Chain A
């Protein structure tokens, strides 16, 4: 199938013909990517925890789109192929000079500056997708990399993810600016071209036949990638989550501590704090919570074995830094305060919450120590 087909049939050499430059895939890819990137940007920059899933699905969508675009870049129609818009540095330099003089050469597909932006955008988006997966695996202990990435690495990469996201915003602005500039200089609406695929092309250039889509090769490449990705995901998902395990709650802990308050997961405090709590039970946050020595012994063993340093979760990594003034209180720790600073005090007074210490009122998975962003549900009353 040749996609570059003259639509009107004029004969003069100076005349222009209308040609379909951007095929259906390229156009769909472009606008879907716009929607997906906008979604990740909104959910990422305005970062509400319960939006994480939307951010993730849009991110997966971007990953899929880029994969398909790469395949299409090798086997797609003429102007979609990377080979049609890889320019020698000299050409790019010439084009830039022409652009500065306001008289750039005509390119039917991407011009050298636009081409550079396309590659840069693909590169940055790939980087964002991969770094996003690393952050998800390391910090949240979710996704395909949950078994192989440490919290520390996830946090390092989170910085990169953020910087790349800001960079992307600037690149998008430059991309839009470039399109508007070229539209103005070439007197045609390039935004509309990305919608209907059509561009006015000098008759001479339209004569260059479009390359035929290599459907078989494209499908083959996609199948290979799908099988490889599938095998990778499958083997990664079989790995146990690094630094997290489901533990059986100690029955003494559940009954003795869980009678008055949610039985806090042992990973939420360092061993030193648990120790102080157990030795000071007769004045436990303003109440007498004294216990038999035998019971205290059992609790001590359980808490020591499962205190914060034995975990690599987000909660354990951060809550192990306790407040210097109030080292026994989880809710006094700098991280706890930081993460809850935007919540109105009145919310904590709600009937179903009652106090800041009632983690499980809002964090459905508090009992496991995971505290997933998606597991937050703040009661309305």
Chain B
């Protein structure tokens, strides 16, 4: 039952809590991670993930905010100087629409910042936060 209820609930929740911005592509990706996650996604947990300083990954990138800045609404900058478009979906409309790309960046950046791969729970929380912004 759970496998059916959670995605269903998620979809309903999505339309309720993340109004407007998320298109079908983003919904699809959220659903993908929600299906593997233990709990329903939480925007607050997503925010915490984003702002926390870990210090367990690569020394030059202790937190997401090192490059992305503290606000998902603002442009970030890579260590080399390339501008990164804002993480918030409301600012960068084509974000979180390609699962392969999303997986690639979770893999790279979770390893770089936290020192391990992220769990599906963390991924769905993180995405929910960015889509809500």
Q: In the assembled complex, how far is the CB of residue B47 from the closest CB belonging to chain A, in whole angstroms?
A: 23
Residues of B with C-beta under 8 A to A285:
79
Give chain A's interface secondary structure class.
loop
List CB contacts (< 8 Å) of A137-153 with chain B: none
Give the bracket for the number of chain B residues in contact with chain A.
10 to 19
Find out whether the CB atom of A286 lies under 8 angstroms from the CB atom of B60.
yes
Q: Does A358 contact B (CB under 8 A)?
A: yes
Find out whether the CB atom of B59 lies under 8 angstroms from the CB atom of A358.
no
Find out whether the CB atom of B80 lies under 8 angstroms from the CB atom of A358.
yes
Q: Does A291 contact B (CB under 8 A)?
A: yes
Q: Which of A288, A292, A357 contacts B81 (CB 8 A)?
A: A357
Which residue of chain A lies nearest to B103 when distances are taken between CB atoms in the complex? A292
Q: Does A355 contact B (CB under 8 A)?
A: yes
Q: Does B93 contact A (CB under 8 A)?
A: no
Known A-B contacts A289-B108, A290-B107; the reply to A353 vs B59 at CB < 8 A is no
List CB contacts (< 8 Å) of B77-91 with chain A: 77-82
Find out whether the CB atom of B59 lies under 8 angstroms from the CB atom of A288.
no
CA distance A282 to B109 in the complex (A): 11
Q: Which of B60, B77, B107 contacts A354 (CB 8 A)?
A: B77
The listed residue with most B CB atoms (<10 A of its CB), out of A287, A292, A353, is A287
Find out whether the CB atom of A288 lies under 8 angstroms from the CB atom of B109.
yes
Residues of A with C-beta under 8 A to B107:
288, 290
Residues of B with C-beta under 8 A to A287:
58, 60-61, 79, 108, 112
CA distance A104 to B73 in the complex (A): 86
Known A-B contacts A260-B78, A262-B82; the reply to A291 vs B104 at CB < 8 A is yes
Q: Does A103 contact B (CB under 8 A)?
A: no
The listed residue with most A CB atoms (<10 A of its CB), out of B61, B80, B81, is B81
CA distance A170 to B95 in the complex (A): 66
A344-369 interface bits toward B, Cβ cutoff 8 Å, 1 = contact, 0 = none = 00000000111101100100000000
Number of A-B contacts (CB under 8 A): 51
Q: Which of A288, A352, A355 contacts B58 (CB 8 A)?
A: A288
CA distance A259 to B109 in the complex (A): 13
Give the bracket for the number of chain A residues in contact with chain B.
20 to 34
A265-292 interface bits toward B, Cβ cutoff 8 Å, 1 = contact, 0 = none = 0000000000000000011011111111
Q: In the assembled complex, how far is the CB of residue A174 from the closest CB belonging to chain B, in whole angstroms?
A: 52
Find out whether the CB atom of A260 lies under 8 angstroms from the CB atom of B82.
yes
Q: Does B45 contact A (CB under 8 A)?
A: no
Q: Does A91 contact B (CB under 8 A)?
A: no
Find out whether the CB atom of B80 lies under 8 angstroms from the CB atom of A260.
yes
Find out whether the CB atom of B108 lies under 8 angstroms from the CB atom of A354.
no
Q: In the assembled complex, how far is the CB of residue A298 from the closest CB belonging to chain B, in whole angstroms?
A: 15
A116-138 interface bits toward B, Cβ cutoff 8 Å, 1 = contact, 0 = none = 00000000000000000000000
Find out whether the CB atom of A355 lies under 8 angstroms from the CB atom of B79.
yes
Q: In the assembled complex, how far is the CB of residue A287 from the closest CB belonging to chain B, in whole angstroms?
A: 5
Q: Which residues of B contact A (CB under 8 A)?
A: 58-61, 77-82, 104, 107-109, 111-112
Query: Which 6 A-B pairs give the minimum distances between C-beta atoms?
Result: A354-B81, A358-B81, A261-B80, A288-B111, A288-B112, A357-B80
6 contacts between A and B (CB under 8 A): A260-B78, A262-B82, A286-B59, A287-B60, A288-B58, A291-B104
